[in-house]
Structure 1
Amino acid sequence: MLRHFFTNSFGILVSRVLGLLRDLLTANALGASIWSDIFFVAFKLPNLFRRLFGEGAFTQAFLPNFVKVSKKGLFLAEIFLKFSGFMLALSLVVMLFAPLVTKLLAYGFSPETITLAVPLVRINFWYLLCIFVVTLFASVLQYKNHFATTAFSTALLNIAMITALLIACNQPPNLAALYLSWGVVAGGVLQVLAHIITLKKLNLLRLLSLGLAKFSRGKRASSKGFWGNFWAGVVGSSANQLSDFISTFIASFLMVGSISYLYYANRIFQLPLALFAIALSTAIFPKISKQIKAANLANAAILLSKGFHVLFFLLLFSTIGGVILAKEIIWLIFERGAFDTSNTIETANVLKMYMLGLLPYGLYKLFSLWLYANMKQKLAAKISIYSLVLNTILSLVLFKPFGAMGLALAGSISGLFLLIYAVCIFGFRNFLDIIICKKTLITIFLAVIFAFLLIWIKDFFNDYL
């Protein structure tokens, strides 16, 4: 488990470092302006659908069914063809109704801003088709315990976007945003190619080819269970993604730059979440699914316990560091070019609110695996619906008095709700068996020392500077 975790984590680290470089160049070129708001709205739309239909719901429904089904090639081919057709149709709908889609996504935008955003929305959305293919192929590679290609492939997206920004150097913001959008599409194509090459090397591409040949002759696999779990998984995976969508929608009514503050702060928040929580969850999910299929619930629980202690340590320290050093982190990464000191202060305040939700969101990702591996996607969907309602109410209550900070805080509170509900279903007594031990106490003790040390170092350097 740890070997696969470190593979995922290192790959994500490389990608996120490149992502930070990309964001640095984006902040330098666009700052926190109307053009940065427009690009982030355009880029957010395919990412919203990617997270709803792709990474979360798809993998959590596909992998347990792929483990169980006997005709794996035929099952893979059927899912590939049906989903590709659906994604292509969805992309064409967005092309035709891009003004309406943009208005729904950022209702507070003026008609002039909507007109400027429409071309970028159309370009960015084609990334969705590419990333679905990547998600499907990545799920097959996960089944074979191959994680490196997927972990490192996101770096290709960032490299493509960085290249676009370098080409757009010294260009006006509107052209920089246009080049950046084409960089997104180019990055998606590169990710698909990387997975195809790996599948061919592992002789898995042949599995898809044979499945497609059988499907063309009218044969079908038993995919009924997949579709039920998938649509439940769409809802179950949607809480965080739709919360992000709601935040963007409400932020469009706030002062110019608010969408950008949320984006830049969320990028920092996503680094430890992806580096630790997503990397560990991705590595452990196939193993838990196989143990549960074999009725080895004790072994599955042991895997979950090991994952918890690793994740609790890493996320707790990340939360402390992120809250205490929020301003310094934003200043170091973003404050240059069009991104000024006032942007740093606003973004740092938003980051602090986001970081409060890091530990609950990360631990929820771990405990939700137990639900998905046990084919309880509908139960997970119910939890997410409640969380989404809570987040929407809190966002509407908090956005006026606290601005973008209130939107980030609403997301963190809904993350805590998700964790508490998932723990209740997992079993509070089982949860206590995991957390009440020396490892937890040692982690908390070290975290307190770490917090005081960071505060002292921060005060020392502030006085020195």
Structure 2
Amino acid sequence: MLIKSIFTNSSGILVSRVLGFIRDLLTASILGANIYSDIFFVAFKLPNLFRRIFAEGAFTQAFIPSYAKSKNKIRFSSMVFLELFFFLIILSLVVTLFSTLVTKVVAFGFDEATIKLASPLVAINFYYLPLIFCVTFIAALLQYKNHFATTAFSTALLNIAMIIALLISKNMDKYEITFYLSYGVIVGGFLQVAVHLMTMKKHNLCKIFTFRKHKKKDENRFYKSFFAATVGSSTAHISAFLDTWLASFLVSGSISYLYYANRVFQLPLALFAIATSTALFPMIAKAIKNKDENKALHLMKKSSLILFVLLFVATLIGTVFNKEIIWLLFERGAFTSTDTQNTALVLVMYLLGLVPFGLAKIFSLWLYANEKQFLAAKISMKALGANIVFSLLLIIPYEAAGLAFASTLSGFILLYLTLKEFGFKKVKTLYFM
């Protein structure tokens, strides 16, 4: 079951990432690495940050254990959905009204003219967030039923929508292309919701709404775990967001170098680490619920060993062939050989953190399954604090590459602290005895 689930997730992620690279290839060729690509990536960064935190971490890690323990699953799930969905709709409207202010916060280094260009794009892209929450909510219910395929493959729809937007607008003004891309993001979000609703109906999960009065004990426990898990699962993504914010102070194109390099870095991380943790977590949560700790530990040992080998090999390949990878994927059209060299260096700095970030994701599942979200959050905050310090120290001498390496260093700290809480004695017993 575990291997099958991992394979399903990996296959879906691979399809999605291949289409994502085609999208990035077209984006690099049509927009290049300049002010227009920078403003789109800034606009897409904020909802994408929340998407990764929701879809690949906090919501699922808090929801599944609470859902498993809830005695009134339909009432619990319906109220959680309604409360969070309407909150995100209101938040999206606020971002629309104050898009200029939000853009200044997201890209503090931009001048007034650039902020004026970026703010409408920020407002449009943010509406992807309530859509992806709907997807994540349904995905969590499907994962509890051991169905992973729909969620794994559905991200491809976002990439397809953005690819079509690029092809339609490729001969237009570059600023106009960024609007087409932004609306492509929204269309992709609606498509993802649609396929999840169809799968939900197929699995008899549509009866999630109820308006009967009930005690909010389950919801309160969920929200406490959710807010802590939001911090705990977001270290890598906030680090990437921090890179973008600091890179706005560097030369034009720096944000794009970080974006393209991080996209390559995210492929093995998603293909192996995220696919494994997504399949593993419901199994661990159920084993912990049933007080079968030995089964949970066996699953973790098996998964982590496989993951270590895969990520280590990916790191070696990416480091040795960094320039060739960037050249093959992006160097065409407006993306120059200088852009390739700069992006390749940033890629190596990110890849050095691939193993620690991946393994930290696996071992943090133990904390989440035992509902120790606050402890995981504390660990992540320490790692994030280290990332901020390293970024400030390295940005001046090494620019974009320094920001990427600061993220890597924080990954090692995250892994060390996670293993410490998991228990070094337990690690020794698990792997060496």
Scaled to the shorter chain, the TM-score interval is over 0.9
Structure 1: where are the runs of 5+ without partners?
438-465
Q: Per-residue displacement from partner, 1:124-170 (whole Å, max 9, x unpaired)?
A: 00000100000000000000000000000000000000000010122
Residue 56 of structure 1 and its aligned partner are, at CA, apart by: 1.3
Find the counterpart in structure 2 of residue 234 from structure 1: 230
Find the counterpart in structure 2 of residue 340 from structure 1: 336
The answer to whether residue 273 in structure 2 is matched with residue 277 in structure 1 is yes
Find the counterpart in structure 2 of residue 51 from structure 1: 52
How many residues were matched structurally?
431
Q: What CA distance in whole angstroms lies between the structure 2 residues aligned with 1:243 and 1:94?
A: 22
Q: Per-residue displacement from partner, 1:344-395 (whole Å, max 9, x unpaired)?
A: 0000000000000000000001000000000000000000110111000000
Q: Normalising to structure 2: TM-score of the pair?
A: 0.98
Residue 238 of structure 1 and its aligned partner are, at CA, apart by: 2.3
- SS of the residue 2:5 aligns to: helix
Letter of the aligned partner of 1:249 in structure 2?
W
Residue 317 of structure 1 and its aligned partner are, at CA, apart by: 0.2
Find the counterpart in structure 1 of residue 347 from structure 2: 351
Contact kept, 8 Å, 1:272 with 1:318, in 2: the verdict is yes
Find the counterpart in structure 1 of residue 12 from structure 2: 11
Q: What CA distance in whole angstroms lies between the structure 2 residues aligned with 1:307 and 1:423?
A: 15
- SS of the residue 1:343 aligns to: helix
Q: What CA distance in whole angstroms lies between the structure 1 residues aligned with 2:249 and 2:136?
A: 34
Alignment of 1:367-406 (within 5 A): 367-406=363-402
The answer to whether residue 172 in structure 2 is matched with residue 176 in structure 1 is no
Residue 47 of structure 1 and its aligned partner are, at CA, apart by: 1.2
Q: What CA distance in whole angstroms lies between the structure 1 residues aligned with 2:304 and 2:427?
A: 10
- SS of the residue 1:403 aligns to: helix
Q: What CA distance in whole angstroms lies between the structure 2 residues aligned with 1:433 and 1:257?
A: 48
Q: What CA distance in whole angstroms lies between the structure 2 residues aligned with 1:18 and 1:382?
A: 36
The answer to whether residue 35 in structure 2 is matched with residue 34 in structure 1 is yes
Find the counterpart in structure 1 of residue 425 from structure 2: 429
Residue 54 of structure 1 and its aligned partner are, at CA, apart by: 4.8
Contact kept, 8 Å, 1:168 with 1:176, in 2: the verdict is yes
The answer to whether residue 305 in structure 2 is matched with residue 309 in structure 1 is yes
Residue 220 of structure 1 and its aligned partner are, at CA, apart by: 4.7
Find the counterpart in structure 1 of residue 292 from structure 2: 296
Residue 431 of structure 1 and its aligned partner are, at CA, apart by: 1.4
Contact kept, 8 Å, 1:75 with 1:220, in 2: the verdict is no
Moved over 6 A (4+): none
Find the counterpart in structure 1 of residue 135 from structure 2: 134
Letter of the aligned partner of 2:240 in structure 1?
D
Contact kept, 8 Å, 1:78 with 1:220, in 2: the verdict is no
Q: Per-residue displacement from partner, 1:431-464 (whole Å, max 9, x unpaired)?
A: 1234448xxxxxxxxxxxxxxxxxxxxxxxxxxx
Q: What CA distance in whole angstroms lies between the structure 2 residues aligned with 1:278 and 1:318?
A: 15
Contact kept, 8 Å, 2:261 with 2:350, in 1: the verdict is yes
Q: Per-residue displacement from partner, 1:251-278 (whole Å, max 9, x unpaired)?
A: 0000100000000000000000000000
Letter of the aligned partner of 1:376 in structure 2?
K
Q: What CA distance in whole angstroms lies between the structure 2 residues aligned with 1:7 and 1:306?
A: 17
Alignment of 1:190-209 (within 5 A): 190-205=191-206, 207-208=207-208
Equivalent residue in structure 1 for 2:240, among 237, 244, 259: 244
Q: What CA distance in whole angstroms lies between the structure 2 residues aligned with 1:36 and 1:420?
A: 36
Residue 51 of structure 1 and its aligned partner are, at CA, apart by: 3.0
Find the counterpart in structure 2 of residue 328 from structure 1: 324
Find the counterpart in structure 2 of residue 448 from structure 1: none
Residue 85 of structure 1 and its aligned partner are, at CA, apart by: 1.0
Contact kept, 8 Å, 2:250 with 2:399, in 1: the verdict is yes
Contact kept, 8 Å, 1:288 with 1:373, in 2: the verdict is yes
RMSD: 1.0
Letter of the aligned partner of 2:296 in structure 1?
A
- SS of the residue 2:305 aligns to: helix
- SS of the residue 1:142 aligns to: helix
Higher-Rg structure is 1
